[in-house]
Chain A
Amino acid sequence: MQEFNAPGANPLSKYFRQPKLYINLPSKGKFYKPGAIDMPETGEVAVYPMTAKDELIMKTPDALLNGQATVDVIKSCVPSIKDPWSMPSIDLDAALIAIRIATYGEKMDINAKVPKVGTEKTFQADLNDILGDLAMANYDTTFRSGDLIMNIRPLSYREFSQSSIKTFEEQRVFALLNNNDITDEEKLQKFNESFQKLTTLTMATLTKGIVSIEIDGELVTNAVHINEFIENSEKSFFNDVLSHIEAQRNKFQVKPFVAQSEPEEIEAGAPETYEIPIAFDNSTFFA
């Protein structure tokens, strides 16, 4: 009998869990740092079901808050993504939905109240349809505003996470302003500080996503110069940039589920169809 005790390839690897599905990432593998993704020739990455260990990390609040749970689970279930922190944020929902399909199947229950009637109902969303929509969306990296041509990129999961945490912290400060132990002057001061921080954060997030600006054949890629330019730009230009970036982000948002009312519900005042937002939280992500 041959004994395997040496480091290297694990002889038991053929008994490891098998991929449940293969998906096209919305980014098609673009925007990753070199070495952060091992893209197969087919362009489709394998997705494995979560193990019990993965499920436990996804139920750890601190790991969820700082993004580590998501990173660990993506590493475990989509091993082609070597460095999930540098994954473009547009791939995030698709990766998590694919993991959800691989683990619990393609149907996901959504609970909602029928408008005007108020009765609770459970619908089943087909996650394959949602995944298909995300994979079809296209991120437009270039747009023009006047004479300027802007090249943008989606934020990485690390940048997205850091920005979400900072926003969350500042929102907590707003919540503290209801505290009666603080004087009105202090409240105003804290509000102004927090508001200023949030504005700076919005600007920083925006400029991080700008790769270059092209004007009169000159290409500006220096982040400091781009930052300065954005801070000193006209409002209309700033709004153009913001709306283009938001439009790109919206393409990769999960569309709401369209529910059909029953004839008796319509008779009771419900609309024929209504939209239910699909949110992936702890109660829906796990079967």
Chain B
Amino acid sequence: MSRSLAARAALAGVLATAWAVAVWLLWTSTTVPALHLPHLDPHAYFSPRQLSAAASYSRLERVDWLLATVATLGALLVFARYGLRWARESAAGRMGTGMLLGMLGFALLWAVQVPFSILELWWERRHHLTSIGYASLVLGNWLALGGEFVFLCFALAIVMGLARAVGDWWWLPAAPAFIGLALLFAFLNPWLTSTHRLEQPALRASAARLERIEHVRHAPIEVESVHDVTSLPNAEATGIGPSRRVILWDTLVDGRFTDREVTVVIAHELGHLAHDHIWKDVGWYALFAFPGTFLIALATRRRGGMRRPEAVPLSLLVLVGLTVLGQPLQNIVTRHMEAEADWSALQATHDTAAATGLFVRFVPTTLSQPSPPTWDYVLLENHPTIMQRIAMVQAWRRYATSVAQSP
């Protein structure tokens, strides 16, 4: 083994160790007490009809996702092989041609996903979860491509510009650039959504009380109007610094959930803010951005590197492939943070009945399967399952009782 090879191996080892340490530090910054969650029988909480409806609904959703993913990867494989022929339709020079190829790759993805999107929409409409029309979906997604293209062109301009300037090492400056963009987007995101003030005074008072309990600097609680397109309930904590806020979908405060249940949701979202989950999200993104961009750089070297438009179709395949492969890891991270937010909500509200009621009500309102198959859990679930969340409520109750009884 030559000396330079050894030095490289040592450097790679040091970098890998540093990366692993960073992963460990970030992972352990999110804490949920080591609980032994009891195994719960879904039949004790849900009627056979509810379980059957959720299982039936989820089955087609899963098949649709699986087929769409396979078709997407297949289409990108073909595009990586033959996509270069579209370069003749460009008069835009090297970088512009790269952008055109990137956009056509995304356009291909849109085209491939149309039948699966329609199938999914049909399924959701059949279960009264959405009222979006088919034409709106297809045309809306077609027009939305324009926005995606703008970001794609921007990203390709960064990558191809850096590749031209520093060659195969483009990924080293590109990763921080993308991390910066992720940070910027995390900051701006709340202002990209149209919301209005939470009307209910009781919920506003609860939110103010929870902020004090969870030690969260004031974050506005706002409502996003989505009832004309979906009946699904949802909420999110978003923004960093001055843009932080909690956004509730109006389908959550339309009377189907009690005020106590909505309070648990608010406590959960404030838990995200209290534990800096948005910052940690960006941190996780940063940890994966370096190896991700490095792998793209490595894969595209045979096509002349990212400075050449020929590399763009292949880079899309690698990017989407890495995203699919990284999905289970990403799900582990988000489930970990969601569990911490659930725990935080229980600590703040002490309302186990409302928390259980909320999670139980999610099944008929979202048709989520309380305990999905393992492969679904690994690949698709970015929250703990409903049964895991109910089990955590029970575990917290035992924990709280033991703490109260301890001398």
Are A and B subunits of one complex?
no
Residue ranges of B at the interface with A (Cβ–Cβ < 8 Å) = none
